[in-house]
Amino acid sequence: MNLVLFRPAEVGQPLRIDDPRTRHVLDVLHRVEGDEFDAGLINGPRGKARIDRSTAQELRVSFRAESPAESPDPLTLLVGLPRPQTARDILREATTLGLSALYFVAGEKSEPSYVQSTLWRDGEWERHVIAGAQQAFSTLVPPVTFDLRLAAALLALPAGPRRVALDNYEATTAFAAMRFAPAEPLVLALGPERGWGADDRALLRSAGFTFGHLGARVLRLETAVVAALTLAKAARGTL
């Protein structure tokens, strides 16, 4: 937790002693009443938080902004809905690398039961994107969509940005060989753990996606997401 994030409404309000942020500030950072630590407001400014009161039951902090909110990288990630544990890794790591929006979509080869996981049903997913932002020393927490089928998600995507889908089977161009303008808006799509199906590929092509690959080796989905985002950000100068 390199940056402790708060919602604006939490500043000045008591934080429970068992809140993970409270435990981090007290047990890892070893801060006491009157001390400051690096903090930020979700999707807002970054600065310093001060411990105004510390008791056995709660922590109260105030916040002083020192730098304005960042602008997100205009990079949208679309991923075929994977197993919940894989989705947790992607939520965290993709947010750490930085992007403007994240879509998990039901494709032809997606397992329908995955969307019923407590990860999505109970709102657990938000904890993982916040953890990713805190790791990156960033306040940016991307919006996450997880209840759309591929066709509906394609209609919801922003119009205009270049669109690239990664595929192990039909792509003939290496993604690493593609060229992009600096900070070029981009939608990057990766299939679920079993890959895109034929109908998915047809939908993607009809929505203006070109196809690329990450090489001859078949990567785990969470590894492919990190590799693809890193390549995209390096090629566009936003790493």
* Tens-place pLDDT, residues 67-100: 999 999 999 999 999 999 999 999 999 999 999 9
pLDDT of res. 75: 97
pLDDT tens-digit profile of 177-186?
999 999 999 9
Return the sign of the alpha-carbon dihedral for residues 99, 103, 104, 108.
negative
Task: Give me the percent of the chain exceeding a pLDDT of 90.
Answer: 90
User: Domain limits of the chain?
Assistant: 4-67, 75-236
Residue 202 CA neighbour count, 13 Å, CB half? 4
Q: List Cβ neighbours of 75 (8 Å cut-off, separation of 6 or more).
A: 98, 99, 100, 185, 186, 188, 229, 232, 233, 236, 238
Tokens describing residue 194: 């079993």
> Stretch 54-77: mean pLDDT, rounded?
95
Q: How confident is the model at residue 158 (pLDDT cuts 50, 70, 90)?
A: confident
Superfamily of domain 4-67: Hypothetical PUA domain-like; domain 1 (2.40.240.20)
Cα–Cα distance list, 137 to 25, 78, 187, 197 (Å): 15, 24, 24, 37
pTM of the entire predicted model: 0.93
**201, two tokens:** 């590929």
Which listed CATH number (3.60.10.10, 3.40.1280.10, 3.40.50.10380, 3.20.20.140) goes with 75-236?
3.40.1280.10
Alpha carbon distance, N-terminus to C-terminus of the chain? 20
Question: Mean per-residue pLDDT for 229-238?
Answer: 96
Query: Residue 1: pLDDT band by 50, 70, 90 thresholds?
Result: confident
213-239 per-residue burial string, b: 16 or more CB within 10 A, e: under 16: bbeeeebebbebbbbbbebbbebbebe
